[in-house]
Amino acid sequence: MGGWSLVYEEFSPEKEGLRETLCTLGNGYFCTRGAADEAVDDGIHYPGTYIAGGYNRMKTEIDGHILENEDLVNMPNWLPLSFRIEEGSWFDIRQVDLLNYRQELDLKKGLLKRDIRFEDGEGRRTRVSFRRLVHMSLPHLAGQEMRLTAENWSGRMEFRSALDGRVVNDGVARYRKLNSRHLDPLESKRLGEDGICLTVQTHQSRLQVAMAARTRIYRNGRSLSLDRRTIAEKGYIAQLIGVKIEKEAAVTVEKVVGVFTSRDPAVSEAGLAAGKAIRQAGGFEDLLHSHAMTWDHLWQRFGMSFEYKDGQQGEPISEVLHLHIFHLLQTTSVNTMAMRLDVGVPPRGWHGEAYRGHILWDELFIFPLLNWRMPEITRRVLMYRYQRLDAARAAARAHGYRGAMYPWQSGSDGREESQSLHLNPRSGRWIPDNSRLQRHVSAAIAYNVYQYYQVSRDTEFLAFYGAEMILEIARFWSSIATFNREHGRYVILGVMGPDEYHEGYPDAQSPGLNNNAYTNVMAVWVLDRALEILEILPVDISACIREKLDIGEEELDRWRDITRRMRIPFHGDGIISQFEGYERLEEFDWEGYREKYGDIQRLDRILEAEGDTPNRYRLSKQADVLMLFYLFSAEELREIFQDLGYPFAYETIPKNIDYYIRRTAHGSTLSRVVHSWVLARQDRERSWKLFNEALFSDVTDIQGGTTPEGIHLGAMAGTVDQIQRCYTGIVTRNDALWLNPCLPEELATLRLQVRYRGYFLRLEICCDHIKVTSLRNREYPIRVGCGEEIVELNGRDTIEFPLG
């Protein structure tokens, strides 16, 4: 990777899954995995095109259990564009002699390019160049172009341009036993001279997806009038076009595709809309022009740049960070807003089938990046949760709680989508999955709402939607907490923390842990914020919301009481116990297992296959207690602990970090992000090392095969956010924006642009100063602080703070 591109110089079938995922193209509305064209459909991997927020449910029987899975919708494949020479067999990259191969993902323009030069069995040498895009500002359009040159031959060729709805979700090996054929064909038809259209409907959710393709062939820039045949089958349609080829006279095949679903705004019927889209669309070059411009505008908002200190120029860090931003903006974008899509941000993007496109807590790591660049996207995506507030209320009621209990995995209608059984590929066993006991997901949602408000000051969102979510989540925490006379404190029993390697006590009958420290602190924090929100809102609105939710004084008293008397377990010398009784677990033989297994990131599978369980040991998949130091400043934590009547010395922090960091397997890519963050100020070297590992999670597929199942968006956004917030030390406090930079040793200068309360602020951070420039603006003044100094910013202005 150099500059702004991801480049592969050889064709390697065994790495195709990884490349496809990293070369995904998308626009927040739909995503298409990158590498495969029709020629490599078969035997390597089927290309996946996923629609944002589209789901379908299917039932499968496994070991006598009925599993009901809600899967993301694998749309028809719009890519197939193939050719054959003189009625030979269709091009297959594995059946020819490859003379050259080059694939490049141009991040700046959002363009995927592939150049192939090959010789076939008859000695014919041919060059083919592909370009492909999924349009960023015309979200229903995608396009590809194939330019073919016969180097040493002339003759007849046939091109085949197809839309294929006979696809299945088979991108994740361990899900393959589950039903995954989601599409029923509705219609395959020709449209005019050069168009074809395919309409399908998901089997259970009845979501209609229509695709239309317009295929044109050019020589010397002139469109050729050619014979076309259309093959229409159930769920498949193709157009075959014959062309005479002259040696060295390139022909260009252009396929422009329109995609619509029945949920889109401004649509009469999806097929009609798709047909109209390809009638009105420009050619590939036109599309590329507006598409690249949109990316250019996005990079102005989302980009960042570095200067390294002398001799440190070699690191490709900024390139990887741009790849991460690129993938985030393909998953959730301006189109998510403008098309008011009903979607959350899935942990694996819309890039693969892992977690089936469900929404988990990973948004916690993703929203900060959006909040500081384009908070309007966060607002739209938070609506996904608001729309499912009633489902969360029903879930709380069904479990005997009050308020809103959000599901660990959320899909179309907000019910719990976590699997009840999962497959351990190592043992081949289907084992019970208790991950749904991770009640802390609701706290993450409240945290996300509050952080969005802090940066945007969007009182309107708070008044209509945000406050109701925070209050109902607070109420849930109040109702799941019970008062324990022995401790004289409130406790929360039978839950799981973020560390998924602990789902219960060894040998206990039922799953769940008591007083998970992370959960309990988050519960207190949510209750604090709920009380605060009622004060922030205009008094009339606050009164209406309280009346609507029936929140009386007595309930508020209980909330206040919990914020003073929640139990947090400790052990040893100021170590926050991950949960009650953690200290009674055995220490784990890290060295022994590392020796025996090498990669021990997935200790859960290793131990289960051995008939053992991680529940017995002091080990964790990922940060759990340490999440607290990631989410909160030391000041905030001290306040929470002091209110609870627990001692909290600042030395507690490094002590806890040290304790847990030694007991972590990093089975989640989020883990390194958190650990790197919490070490940033106390152990810059170690932090930088972890940061670099986190950074390459996907690029080098450090989990050995999980990236092809979908990128890890939490780690992607989290690493960018580490530059953005951790190294700049940017926080909001007391109606001001504060900067407290802590650049890694390697960096000389960091430049980025953030958005704060309507302002665009350009930040330049060096070792010895910070420069903040505000663009012309009519917003109300804001205050920006650094160290002891605080300055009012009004309209166009530049401030400089010297650094000590």
Catalytic site residues? 500
Residue 338 binds to its own copies (criterion: CB under 8 A): yes
739 close to 763: Cβ distance less than 8 angstroms:
yes
744 close to 689: Cβ distance less than 8 angstroms:
no
- Closer to its own copies at the Cβ: 89 or 280? 280
Residue 481 binds to its own copies (criterion: CB under 8 A): no
- Closer to its own copies at the Cβ: 265 or 598? 265
Q: Which stretch binds its own copies (CB under 8 A): 2-10, 121-129, 235-243, 772-780?
A: 772-780
Residue 460 binds to its own copies (criterion: CB under 8 A): yes
Residue 778 binds to its own copies (criterion: CB under 8 A): yes
Residue 403 binds to its own copies (criterion: CB under 8 A): no
How many C-alpha atoms does 72 have within 13 Å on its Cβ side? Answer: 35
Question: Quick check: helix, strand or coil at residue 356?
Answer: helix
Footprint of its own copies on 82-111 (CB under 8 A) = none
- Closer to its own copies at the Cβ: 290 or 479? 290
- Closer to its own copies at the Cβ: 746 or 779? 779
The C-alpha angle 23, 24, 29, rounded to 5 degrees, equals 160
Smallest CA-to-CA distance from 136 within 284, 297, 260, 291 is with 291
Residue 561 binds to its own copies (criterion: CB under 8 A): no
Q: Locate 422 and state its tokens.
A: 């999962």
Q: Which of 414, 497, 569, 729 binds its own copies (CB under 8 A)?
A: 414
Q: Which of 142, 287, 337, 619 binds its own copies (CB under 8 A)?
A: 337
Q: How far is the CB of 18 from its own copies (least distance, A)?
A: 32
Residue 269 binds to its own copies (criterion: CB under 8 A): yes
Q: Which of 90, 153, 218, 464 binds its own copies (CB under 8 A)?
A: 464
The C-alpha angle 206, 208, 211, rounded to 5 degrees, equals 160
| C-alpha torsion 315→319→322→328, nearest 10 | -90
User: Total binding residues for its own copies by CB under 8 A?
Assistant: 64
Q: How far is the CB of 387 from its own copies (least distance, A)?
A: 4
Query: Is the Cα torsion angle 678, 680, 682, 683 positive or negative in sign?
Result: positive
Question: What residues contact 387, with CB distance under 8 A and at least 6 apart?
Answer: 342, 414
Q: Which of 6, 111, 270, 680 binds its own copies (CB under 8 A)?
A: 270
744 DSSP assignment:
-
Smallest CA-to-CA distance from 160 within 116, 187, 196 is with 196
Can you point out the beta strands (E) in 551-684?
A: 570-571, 575-576
Residue 52 binds to its own copies (criterion: CB under 8 A): no
Footprint of its own copies on 201-240 (CB under 8 A) = 204-208
Alpha carbon distance 117, 486 (integer Å): 76
Residue type (1 letter), 599: D
Q: Which of 246, 285, 547, 792 binds its own copies (CB under 8 A)?
A: 547
- Closer to its own copies at the Cβ: 292 or 748? 292
Alpha carbon distance 397, 410 (integer Å): 17
Smallest CA-to-CA distance from 172 within 424, 417, 427, 352 is with 352
Q: Which stretch binds its own copies (CB under 8 A): 174-182, 238-246, 270-278, 699-707?
A: 270-278
Three-state secondary structure along 536-569? HCCHHHHHHHHHHHCCCHHHHHHHHHHHHHECCC
Alpha carbon distance 179, 194 (integer Å): 36
Residue carrying structure tokens 């001799």: 311
x/- string (CB under 8 A) for its own copies, residues 564-593?
A: ------------------------------
578 DSSP assignment:
S
Residue 376 binds to its own copies (criterion: CB under 8 A): yes
Q: Which stretch binds its own copies (CB under 8 A): 290-298, 493-501, 555-563, 661-669?
A: 290-298
Q: Which of 42, 532, 610, 780 binds its own copies (CB under 8 A)?
A: 780
Contacting residues toward its own copies, per CB under 8 A:
55, 57, 70, 137-138, 204-208, 262-263, 265-270, 272-273, 276, 280, 290, 293-294, 297, 300, 334, 337-340, 342, 376, 383, 386-388, 390-391, 394, 411-414, 459-460, 464-465, 536, 538-540, 544, 547-548, 758, 760, 775-780
